[in-house]
Structure 1
Amino acid sequence: MFAPADAASRLAPQEGAAVLPVPLADLADVPTPAYVYDLAEVRRNHARLRASLPERASLYYSLKANPHPALLRTLREGGARPEVCSTGELTAALEAGWTADTVLYTGPGKRDAEITDALERGVRFFSVDSPHAIEQLSRLAEESGATARCLLRINDDEPVPGQGLAMTGVASQFGADAGWVLAEPARFASRPHARVVGLHLYMGSNLGEVDALAAQFSRTLRTARTLDATLSAHGVRCEVLDLGGGFGAPFARAGHAPDLRALRPRLEALFDEETPGWRDGGPEVVFESGRHLVGTAGTLLTAVLDVKRSHGKDIVVLESGINHLGGMAGMRRLPPLNPTLVAAREPREAGELTALVAGPLCTPLDTWSRAARLPALRPHDLVAVPNVGAYGLSASLVAFLGHPLPAEAVVDSDRPGTPPEISRTTLIRQGVMD
């Protein structure tokens, strides 16, 4: 495996080929560039995460991580529920076979048309972020002849240390500040057609350590207990407690999903202390996960277009750039990716190079790495980027400069020899692009 130059170690070129879920020969009919998704890895991730959570807890899959239909069907078959935050994601969930009564519809701002569409399709469970959002949902539910259930999303007063991406404890569009709810609880009570049935607390994301996750959930449960005591005086009964997730996974780098099995007994002890009665179904405890379930199931396979030297530096130009992988990171809104690059097949020449790796876009910002240690690549060689099953294609700048979109191929490493399922990109299916 050929990692960036600042990595502590690297493997030999031939060992890197193992990043692909099936032999490269089985992908001969897959055009490049292509995202390759392994359903077996999705099943394994789901089973491991479920085993890391209390048995009575429920698990939602956040479609924002990857809305590919095959991945959705696999997770539905495994028992996950869908968490969506747009009309496109709702459509994808329903087309994958989930029923509307299993959907949790979230998001910090929702247009009337989106809510009405969801209500008319049968969705009755929403997350709301403010008194206005409760009133909006009640008004639209009444117009649709329905009554909706909703979770009040909370922005806790302090962030929890160790978060990969802070979602609470800072000024945010997500949720109502805990102090606001405690100061004016009547404003967060149920409305005639929007019944507040619980709390939604999502503290942070991409945490890979059991200790960090346990600390996050411990804080969450203490906050929930305080809020529940205050809101109960205004008729709110906490039937559902959504603790979010934050379960980490490597992104565009070598590695495996973290082992979280030690989390289960920690959580059960926390619930026994902070939420008596949870074992008997009151309240129902639910979690959410996106990247942990599908992140390690995706690989980007892309070809080398050009190799040259410029001002004494090797330059490798790929079919894929920030338009296919990287999104805001590519535009320097976030730290640069610097992804692991793996030779997908034995290079035709011996040797190595330390190269600037760029994509085909007509901008100097289209750079993945400035010092990647690679084999002696030539045009038409193939390289792969591991662990991009979450926030890969659908989170990237696909419309920028109008280059073709990658294909998406689905394989199942538990069923060797099965031809890959090659499909149009999810973005076209969702109507995001023509």
Structure 2
Amino acid sequence: MAAEHSGLSPAAAEELAARYGSPLYVYELARVRAAYADLTDALPSPCRLYYSLKANPHPDLVAELRRCGARAEVTSRGELASALEAGCRAGELLYSGPGKTPGELAEAMHRGVRSYSAESFGDLEGIGAAASTLGVTAGCVLRINAAGAPGSAGLRMTGSASQFGFDLDTLLAAPDRLKVPGTRTVGLHFFPLTNARDEESLRAELVQSIRTAAQLRSSLGIELQLVDLGGGFAAPYAVPGERPRYTGLRKGVSEALDEWLPGWREGAPVVAFESGRHLVGDSGQLLCTVTDVKDSRGTLYAVLDTGINHLGGLSGLGRLLPMAARPVRPAEGTEADAVRATLAGPLCTPADVLGRGVEMPGLAAGELIAFPNVGAYGLTASLLGFLGHPAPAEVVMDGGEVVTATRLALRREAAGAPATTPLPSRS
């Protein structure tokens, strides 16, 4: 979603940058609504859809998805605070992720969160200890590290040695360890891969998870109130492009649910999915300014006022390249004069590169350019504190109007006394 492909006109982009400064993130709520509608149309009905705040915890985006009908999936105190600020009910949140500490579990319980994804027996015991302290019961879905379907595409999250989820053999060998005071096992949680553009591979993964859920219900003798099949729904990142449409997914997954989990249409079990990047990825763009153009030993560099501290912090590891930007308002007749440049940021490290060999028409210092499709894994997935540059402002727009304009700020504060709560047994 470069400026010319979004609802944001070049004039509007320039006006926003003049008002709020460069670099600047801009999110468009209309695109969030469109993504939610497209994804729910592609999924079996009825189902529950969780928004994974790790993609972007901005409260305005979370609130818009809540209004659309999504629930929130959180993995930290910060994401929990954002979800509650956005108006999400604590009792409808799903708290997941490995490494939950006694302190964050105690806070989540105090705030009213009662649904958790347990990643291991130790994690389950920690959830139970926090719940028992308050005299409440936490409903837990067991995250499963199962074998993947053959021919899968995307980044695998499970299926091999992993910090995520119960290994099937470990779980099946000790089902009695699921009887943890303060917890009740209410279902299963799968998330075998992420960012899968190939619909057939994604369908195969979901069907495999459905079969595994039915088999585990029988083997473990557990009640399935909720089966969270995860997601894996893709979106382009920091390059032009459109979200994939999963037009054939609903039929194949619904048929598998009818075969293996009959009763799902009546909510027994409730079937859930998760999405982060697919729901918000194409809602955002990063506007920034070229501060210098230089040739170094035959390589053309465009130095920007933004870098890996604001976008794609993992680019320093080579994970997220290539990225691409385009002028917000390319000068007439410059397409024929396009050059290939390395897009470098302002940080004092050679790792601060956002793209190599990016074709840029009419490249010049002072030019406003835009990185498209960065509504997910943008600012909060970056090296925000590195070198101390201020964060970009974040502007949320709806129908051409600015809804909010805010800026994240890092600040040093006094540390509290160390927690005295003993760690639960991890035997």
1:257 aligns with 243
Is 1:159–1:169's contact at 8 Å kept on the other side of the alignment? no
**SS of residue matched to 1:261:** coil
Q: Which amino acid aligns with 1:165?
A: L
1:371 aligns with 357
2:346 aligns with 360
Q: Which amino acid aligns with 1:298?
A: G
**Separation in structure 1 between the aligned mates of residue 256 and residue 161 of structure 2, nearest angstrom:** 28
* 1:304-353 superposed Cα distances (whole Å, 9 cap, x missing partner): 0001111122211011111111112x221x43412121111123884222
- Superposition map of 1:87-106 within 5 A: 87-106=77-96
**Separation in structure 2 between the aligned mates of residue 78 and residue 420 of structure 1, nearest angstrom:** 17
1:320 pairs with 2:309: no
2:175 aligns with 185
**Separation in structure 1 between the aligned mates of residue 296 and residue 184 of structure 2, nearest angstrom:** 64
1:195 aligns with 184
Q: Which amino acid aligns with 2:104?
A: E
**SS of residue matched to 1:339:** coil
Please report how far the alpha carbon of residue 45 of structure 1 lies from its aligned counterpart in structure 2 after TM superposition: 0.2
- Superposition map of 1:35-434 within 5 A: 35-158=25-148, 161-187=151-177, 189-232=178-221, 236-328=222-314, 330-332=315-317, 334-347=318-331, 350=334, 351-412=337-398, 415-416=399-400, 418-419=401-402, 421-425=404-408
* 1:217-236 superposed Cα distances (whole Å, 9 cap, x missing partner): 1111121122111111xxx2
* 1:258-305 superposed Cα distances (whole Å, 9 cap, x missing partner): 111321111111111111111121111101000000001110110000
Q: Do the aligned partners of residues 428 and 73 (structure 1) sit closer, same or farther apart at CA in structure 2, a change above 3 Å counting? A: farther
**Separation in structure 2 between the aligned mates of residue 190 and residue 135 of structure 1, nearest angstrom:** 9
**Separation in structure 2 between the aligned mates of residue 143 and residue 81 of structure 1, nearest angstrom:** 27
Is 1:201–1:244's contact at 8 Å kept on the other side of the alignment? yes
* 1:358-407 superposed Cα distances (whole Å, 9 cap, x missing partner): 11111111112221111122111011011010011110111111122111
Q: Do the aligned partners of residues 222 and 213 (structure 1) sit closer, same or farther apart at CA in structure 2, a change above 3 Å counting? A: same
Is 2:148–2:205's contact at 8 Å kept on the other side of the alignment? no
Is 1:159–1:170's contact at 8 Å kept on the other side of the alignment? no
Number of residue pairs aligned between Structure 1 and Structure 2? 406
Q: Which amino acid aligns with 2:281?
A: G
Q: Sequence identity of aligned pairs in percent?
A: 46
**Separation in structure 2 between the aligned mates of residue 363 and residue 405 of structure 1, nearest angstrom:** 18
**Separation in structure 2 between the aligned mates of residue 247 and residue 420 of structure 1, nearest angstrom:** 28
**Separation in structure 1 between the aligned mates of residue 6 and residue 36 of structure 2, nearest angstrom:** 20
Q: CA RMSD in A?
A: 1.8
**SS of residue matched to 1:331:** helix
**SS of residue matched to 2:244:** coil
Is 1:349–1:377's contact at 8 Å kept on the other side of the alignment? no
Which runs of 5 or more residues in structure 1 are unaligned? 2-15
4+ residue segments displaced more than 6 Å: none
**Separation in structure 1 between the aligned mates of residue 372 and residue 3 of structure 2, nearest angstrom:** 10
Please report how far the alpha carbon of residue 21 of structure 1 lies from its aligned counterpart in structure 2 after TM superposition: 2.8
Which runs of 5 or more residues in structure 2 are unaligned? 414-427
Q: Which amino acid aligns with 1:65?
A: A
Q: Which amino acid aligns with 2:220?
A: L
**Separation in structure 2 between the aligned mates of residue 98 and residue 349 of structure 1, nearest angstrom:** 50
